[in-house]
Structure 1
Amino acid sequence: MRIAVDAMGGDFAPDAIVEGVVMATKELPSDVTIVLVGRQRVIEDLLQKYKYAGSGVEIVHAEDVVEMGEHPTRALSQKPNSSIGVGFKLLRDKAVDVFCSAGNTGAMHVGALFSIKAIEGVMRPAIAGFVPQLSGGFAVMVDIGANADCKPEMLLQFGEIGSIYAQYTFGIDQPRVALLNIGEEEQKGSLLAQAAYQLLKNSPKINFVGNMEGGDLFRDKADVIVTDGFTGNILFKMGESVYELNRDLGLKHEFTDKTNYESVGGSPIVGVNGNVIIAHGISSPLAIKNMISLAKRQVESDAYTKIAQALS
């Protein structure tokens, strides 16, 4: 397995990225290689700084960097030799099995659409987030930011591809799919939510369990939580704030530790022809290490192929 990581993407890149990669190599099996994409001399110096002397890391040189504030489409077209551009070329050419970055989220999303492209039949690829549950596992929330405005048919598809992802990545048989709404009753919510409810209810492809309110986010009511990217992004980031709030108040609990963004480390783009993981721009070395662990699990699950087969 070959896991490509953008060494130059993120607020604390390249130091935090390379340090996280070195941390990850201590836990990865010998058949996994991490391919660091970025400025070779800089990466070599950092590998030396963090005393890496193994053989599980390769470097692919990329001179340019897509900065966090750059326009995604313009940056990718003007900087084909950026670490994100080169990373997607490696993924497109199947030289790596997955590409991960804590860099410009828009550029990662656009790069995925232009390089490996959406799976045939997918209206809009989405970003999936992992919501910790009191039972100990995680629920998959789709979408958490890629599609602020959605049609009912898109929410139906989020439920379908999210269900396949949860089934193969987490080994959940018949994942429970819920629609995020302002009440549990069928007739509640916006026109979008009401129309999506009927589509989800009548889909033979999923195990739909009805509406779910925001207050039940962590209470194991569903394995897949369906919502538009606008609502999902707000709620997901609110959930992540639980860790920081507790930390600031001097409180600590095993569950709230899981709401820390570092605990999973990244979010996959689902609905594209390949494995793409997006990490927080503020990613720490620990977050990068855990992102790599997620990437390995996603490659092993082959979820994107299962989604393609289901939609063919």
Structure 2
Amino acid sequence: MKIGLDILGGDFAPEATIQGAILAAKQLSEDQKIVLIGDQEIAKQQIEQAGENPAFFEYVHAPDHIGMGEHPTKAIAHKPESSIARGFQLLKEGVIDSFASAGNTGAMLVGAVLSVKTIPGVIRPAIATNVPKIKSGFGILLDVGANADCKPEMLPQFGLMGSLFSEYVYGIEKPTVGLVNIGEEEEKGNALTLAAYPLLKENQYINFVGNIEGRELFDEKADVMVCDGFVGNIILKLAESFYVLTRKKGFRDSFFDRFNYEQYGGSPILGVNAPVIIGHGISSPEAIKNMVLLGKDMIDSDIIERIKLAFN
């Protein structure tokens, strides 16, 4: 198993990404290798300075990087030696089994679609994120930013991909699926949710439980919650603020602690032909570590093949 990591992506790269890789490597077996993609000399130098053996990793030299503010499509096309472009090339060629980066989100989406491509039958890939539940564990929310505008037919596909991910990566048995909406009643909502509801209800491959209101996101009503990327991204950013606000107010709570993005590391892009994970731009070493380990779990679970079979 080879887990690809962009060491130049993120606000605190390469220090945070390399430190995170070192933490992750300590939890991997001998046949599980992290491939560091970026400036090879800097990587080896920093690993040695940390008192670790550079031989524990593999390296692919990519001296260029894509900045957070760059146009995704242009950057991928004009910077073939960037860490993100090289990472996707390696993923396409099968040199690495997964690829993760805390760099430019748009470039990660464009790179995934252009290189390993969308799984046949999937209309558009979606980005998924974890949502803590009050009692314990967490659910999955998607899409959280890949598709600001969605067609109704896309939401049942999100529900199916989220269900498979929840079951085979996170071990949730028979996950339930809810539609994020402004009311519980079937006739509530906007044009998208009104059209998507019957499609979700009729889909025999998911366990649909109806509409999910904002106040129900964190209870046990649904394991998988689907929405368009516009709504999902607003929910994601609001949820991320909970942990920061509790810290600013000076109190600790085990539930709100689980909103700390570092615990989950990154968000998978579901619907493409290989495991691809996007990390937060401000990712710390702990977040990078968990992003790498999520890549390992996605490979172990064979989740991509399971999604392919579902859409065959």
Is residue 150 of structure 1 aligned with residue 150 of structure 2?
yes
* Residue 205 (structure 2) aligns with: 205
Residues 27-42 of structure 1: pairs in structure 2 closer than 5 A: 27-42=27-42
Structure 2 Cα separation of the partners of residues 145 and 126 of structure 1: 8
Q: 1:48-89 CA distances to partner (integer Å, 9 max, x unpaired)?
A: 222212643111101211111100000010011110011011
Amino acid at match of 1:100: A
Q: 1:267-306 CA distances to partner (integer Å, 9 max, x unpaired)?
A: 0000000000000001011110111121111111111111
Is residue 182 of structure 1 aligned with residue 189 of structure 2?
no
* Residue 85 (structure 1) aligns with: 85
Structure 2 Cα separation of the partners of residues 147 and 47 of structure 1: 38
Structure 2 length-normalised TM: 0.98
Structure 2 Cα separation of the partners of residues 184 and 116 of structure 1: 38
Is residue 23 of structure 1 aligned with residue 57 of structure 2?
no
- Contact persistence 2:152–2:196 (CA under 8 A): yes
Amino acid at match of 1:268: P
Structure 2 Cα separation of the partners of residues 257 and 229 of structure 1: 25
- Which has the higher mean CA deviation after the structures are superposed, 132-141 or 82-91? 132-141
Structure 1 length-normalised TM: 0.98
**CA shift for structure 1 position 112:** 0.3
Residues 163-312 of structure 1: pairs in structure 2 closer than 5 A: 163-312=163-312
Amino acid at match of 1:124: R
The alignment-based identity, stated in percent, is 54
Structure 2 Cα separation of the partners of residues 231 and 38 of structure 1: 34
Structure 1 Cα separation of the partners of residues 127 and 200 of structure 2: 19
* Residue 64 (structure 2) aligns with: 64
- Contact persistence 1:32–1:56 (CA under 8 A): no
- Which has the higher mean CA deviation after the structures are superposed, 167-176 or 232-241? 167-176
- Contact persistence 1:6–1:101 (CA under 8 A): yes
- Contact persistence 2:181–2:214 (CA under 8 A): yes
Structure 2 Cα separation of the partners of residues 57 and 214 of structure 1: 44
Structure 2 Cα separation of the partners of residues 295 and 254 of structure 1: 26
Is residue 51 of structure 1 aligned with residue 51 of structure 2?
yes
Runs of at least 5 residues in structure 1 that lack an aligned partner in the other structure: none
Structure 1 Cα separation of the partners of residues 300 and 25 of structure 2: 17
**CA shift for structure 1 position 42:** 1.2
Match of 1:293, SS?
helix
Structure 1 Cα separation of the partners of residues 164 and 92 of structure 2: 23
* Residue 96 (structure 2) aligns with: 96
Structure 1 Cα separation of the partners of residues 71 and 54 of structure 2: 37
Q: 1:216-251 CA distances to partner (integer Å, 9 max, x unpaired)?
A: 111121110000000000001111111000000111
Structure 1 Cα separation of the partners of residues 265 and 63 of structure 2: 26
User: How many residue pairs were aligned?
Assistant: 312
Match of 1:170, SS?
coil
Match of 1:128, SS?
strand
Runs of at least 5 residues in structure 2 that lack an aligned partner in the other structure: none
RMSD between superposed Cα atoms in Å: 1.0
Structure 1 Cα separation of the partners of residues 135 and 267 of structure 2: 21
Structure 1 Cα separation of the partners of residues 26 and 10 of structure 2: 22
Structure 1 Cα separation of the partners of residues 237 and 49 of structure 2: 34
Residues 4-23 of structure 1: pairs in structure 2 closer than 5 A: 4-23=4-23
Structure 1 stretches of 4+ moved >6 Å: none
Amino acid at match of 1:36: L
